[in-house]
Structure 1
């Protein structure tokens, strides 16, 4: 948490300074009130008027400071929330492909939304409130010391007790916060899955299951939050009782000093407010401390802080000059072997097809080349260098990858192709032509600026694949991996796309297909059949 406070230290520092002044004005108003009452008892109207006007001035200044603090506070919280989300994204980028996909999208979505809400309510707000209360307690103690030194000692003793007491409950609150974030993430993930299956449940008349599922997910979100708040409330009230006892002791001591004539009797009126400020402040400090402790699990998820660039500082991988050599490659998912002792070679600029039955490891091979699946045996070499010497990011800069299940962002076709980068009109036209997308755009009123909808819902399956192919071509990587990337195209468009890819002399193409005609096979430099040996023998 304090990393973000320090990162935005200028704005946070201004807010803290204003909180210091605000707390001082609020506390010393009590002394002004005591002085005005004293002058009233003495019958000195001018003195009474002076101290009363001074008191009113303090009230006005406090309101001005509170308004400015509120605006600046919301601004810095917005910036810190944005930085936390950016660091969450940076943390995800450090995950391997396997690590990222161990969790469902709904869990990550929960972190970007629910976790941020919890951080704001448990960390940012309580932090600044804690600072404000700490200053209030400090100024109130100083004001009390103006009445008698023993009140300072008593207040400090009370402050010490109330600052140490919360440590007894820190671990309990951290555990409650960790349980809350874990259970809420699971509930949000289940809710996302339920919403995705809405049509299936409606078709089969399972409306009751949909309603029950939403109710269960809702309880899964609200229940952990309730249990965390219950623990925090009970703990806070136990500590509040301790604070009240400390306040009562100081009040009795002030009464004793007053009756002994050590301090003025008018001090009973003003000092009561100061004592309340100390006691309430100590109680609030305890609550805020417990709240901040509850926020710790949310920050522990963030293991990477992005300081201006999400790019990993890797040495640049040189463009491929010769080719890729796969030697004695084996891979298994758990107990299931999908590739066993495979030896393949892909030379620069040549075209290759991978065929074989489902489950024989064609898609797995492409993911191994991309560096997504590190737990293999054997060797993959790029120009003689072991792929393990490179990071997945370095490997992926050399390759474009088109999956069978194309994903498109809910933005325009142009943005889905360029991914926010700048390309010339000539580059765009060539990519559109080579992907057979030009004809589709001619029938769209908005052309390249057509919004594709969530996950490309406004486009057909073939159009989505053509957008994905244009995206791969315009980024001009020297190696193109296609996993059934033309399966949704009609024969005419498939021929246009495949002919464009096969005729590009600078492109190394590795394409997976279940349905290669004899005529098409002749156009590839080599076709690798990955059918396992025990099936080939049948």
Structure 2
């Protein structure tokens, strides 16, 4: 993940490193000048004292300017990286149908977590480590004993994060999971908001959301506990370094091995060493704790381009099992080949709709395998979003019936006016004053169930797909009209229709019928 962040703009990273080095060198120089400044006072050299004061002011301004511009470069680099990652994220979910709340979590919470707990922490750690190196060199110019003591305390300080790394990682991962659960729970209730109002169970929505929200809050509090205790232990060790170095410098002064100003300057520098080292270690501990989140987001970068669906020959499910929260299990052994016209029937609960969700990647198998084979019978990754899938619950958009058929592609307008005849929608349109140009309000739909299904069927046919998967697409349409529509649908290359109310003569139009049974 860090390499990809750097590759977003290597030139900017070089500039960022340059200004970080300038910042830490000049910050160290500012404290280093305390030594000659105090010695000038002790020796009564007023002019030298003024020169050093002015020099220190200039050094501080250069450091501040470097900090500001370096921070700006970091923000620009990070936002450019997130822009590319979001594009990969959206592309991944377009080609790999999945949970909506999972997508929302990756696009919002996990990116925020990555920003605050990884890139920012790495940036902080890098600058603090640079500063520690600069201070070590400054102390070495005074006396090697000061460096030895600082190094000894630093080694002990470095051992603290290893002790807490496991706990902080666990706490951060729990936040990511809790946030995902919160979004998923919220989504499940929001999509059913009309039912919540109808049955007046708003209190249950509030209670359920509150319960899940409390779990998220507890996980965040738990992470803070781990970080706070780790920081406390870190600070305790730092105190030995911060107070020890001035004491050693004082002893060296009385032994005439260093100047008086060294005592104060070493104290400042010691504070800088251990506070910076503590911040660097704390930052790296937090950054390491995002390992699981980084692995999750990294899948978008590693994803190979999916093949177009016209390269797909066979969809095969072998010993597939789906488990539900109520412990129900559905089993599948199924094969759909290019050119098949298959009817899937079975009682309610036998898994007809679930079968289509498995094929389209919306439902994962608990066990068994699903393979998508090309025309050489080799398993490949395909862009499943290109499957012509028509679910039971489809969506109408604000706009005319025409726009809902063409999906706002004006180039298909002429063809849409022809295809309404294929799905027997023309007669319905004649009842509307504006016909196919009748506007639809998704919040106040006056269309019948059959009319909506015909619109969805027209939408599926006008956007042709090599594989057409239809879930109860004729359930609200009368038998005579359904027969005419089925005959038109079966002109498509590959059709899989889920239905439960077809007549014997309608079933005979298909090349194969697969009857699913409920699990015992």
Judge conservation of contact 1:355–1:527 (CA < 8 Å) in 2: no
1:514 aligns with 2:514: no
Name the structure 1 match of 2:305.
311
Query: Bigger CA drift: 288-297 or 130-139?
Result: 288-297
Name the structure 2 match of 1:109.
104
TM-score (norm 2): 0.78
> Which of the numbers 173, 178, 183 marks the counterpart of 1:183?
178
Name the structure 1 match of 2:382.
393
Name the structure 2 match of 1:56.
57
Q: What are the Cα deviations for residues 102-123 of structure 1, in whole angstroms up to 9, with x where unaligned? A: xx64345334322222222211
> Which of the numbers 266, 269, 285 marks the counterpart of 2:280?
285
SS of the residue corresponding to residue 389 of structure 2 reads: strand
Judge conservation of contact 1:483–1:513 (CA < 8 Å) in 2: yes
Q: What are the Cα deviations for residues 189-212 of structure 1, in whole angstroms up to 9, with x where unaligned? A: 333334444444444444443333
SS of the residue corresponding to residue 297 of structure 1 reads: helix
TM-score (norm 1): 0.76
> Which of the numbers 403, 426, 430 marks the counterpart of 2:391?
403
Judge conservation of contact 1:115–1:181 (CA < 8 Å) in 2: yes
Correspondence 1:497-512 to 2 at 5 A:
498=486, 500-501=488-489, 504=491, 507-512=493-498
Cα distance in 2 for partners of 1:119, 1:382 equals: 38
What is the deviation of 1:131?
Answer: 0.8
What is the deviation of 1:226?
Answer: 0.5
Judge conservation of contact 1:187–1:221 (CA < 8 Å) in 2: yes
1:232 aligns with 2:220: no
What is the deviation of 1:304?
Answer: 2.5
What is the deviation of 1:280?
Answer: 0.9
1:25 aligns with 2:26: yes
Name the structure 1 match of 2:241.
246
SS of the residue corresponding to residue 266 of structure 1 reads: helix
What is the deviation of 1:370?
Answer: 6.3
SS of the residue corresponding to residue 175 of structure 2 reads: helix
What is the deviation of 1:473?
Answer: 2.5
SS of the residue corresponding to residue 155 of structure 1 reads: helix
Judge conservation of contact 1:198–1:210 (CA < 8 Å) in 2: no
Judge conservation of contact 2:32–2:138 (CA < 8 Å) in 1: yes
Correspondence 1:387-466 to 2 at 5 A:
389-391=378-380, 393=382, 399-407=387-395, 434=422, 439=429, 465-466=453-454
Cα distance in 2 for partners of 1:105, 1:517 equals: 37
Judge conservation of contact 1:136–1:278 (CA < 8 Å) in 2: yes
Name the structure 1 match of 2:473.
485
Name the structure 2 match of 1:80.
81
Cα distance in 2 for partners of 1:209, 1:179 equals: 25
Which stretches in structure 2 are left out of the alignment for 5+ residues? none
What is the deviation of 1:224?
Answer: 0.3
> Which of the numbers 186, 194, 215 marks the counterpart of 1:220?
215
1:358 aligns with 2:359: no
Judge conservation of contact 1:16–1:128 (CA < 8 Å) in 2: no
> Which of the numbers 137, 140, 144 marks the counterpart of 2:135?
140
What is the deviation of 1:424?
Answer: 6.1
Q: What are the Cα deviations for residues 58-82 of structure 1, in whole angstroms up to 9, with x where unaligned? A: 2222222222122222222223334
Query: Bigger CA drift: 423-432 or 293-302?
Result: 423-432
Cα distance in 1 for partners of 2:82, 2:293 equals: 12
* Residue correspondences, number: 508
Judge conservation of contact 1:90–1:304 (CA < 8 Å) in 2: no
Judge conservation of contact 2:406–2:413 (CA < 8 Å) in 1: no
Name the structure 2 match of 1:8.
8
Correspondence 1:123-202 to 2 at 5 A:
123-202=118-197
Task: Specify whether residues 14 and 417 from structure 1 end up closer, same or farther in structure 2 by C-alpha distance, changes over 3 A only.
Answer: farther
What is the deviation of 1:507?
Answer: 3.8
SS of the residue corresponding to residue 246 of structure 1 reads: helix
SS of the residue corresponding to residue 358 of structure 1 reads: coil
SS of the residue corresponding to residue 210 of structure 1 reads: helix
What is the deviation of 1:318?
Answer: 4.9
Name the structure 2 match of 1:536.
none
Which stretches in structure 1 are left out of the alignment for 5+ residues? 534-538
Correspondence 1:259-408 to 2 at 5 A:
259-302=254-297, 304-306=299-301, 311-312=305-306, 318=311, 348=339, 353-359=343-349, 362-363=352-353, 389-391=378-380, 393=382, 399-407=387-395
Q: What are the Cα deviations for residues 418-473 of structure 1, in whole angstroms up to 9, with x where unaligned? A: 78999666566656775678959x9899979x8987xx987956676455434433
SS of the residue corresponding to residue 299 of structure 2 reads: coil
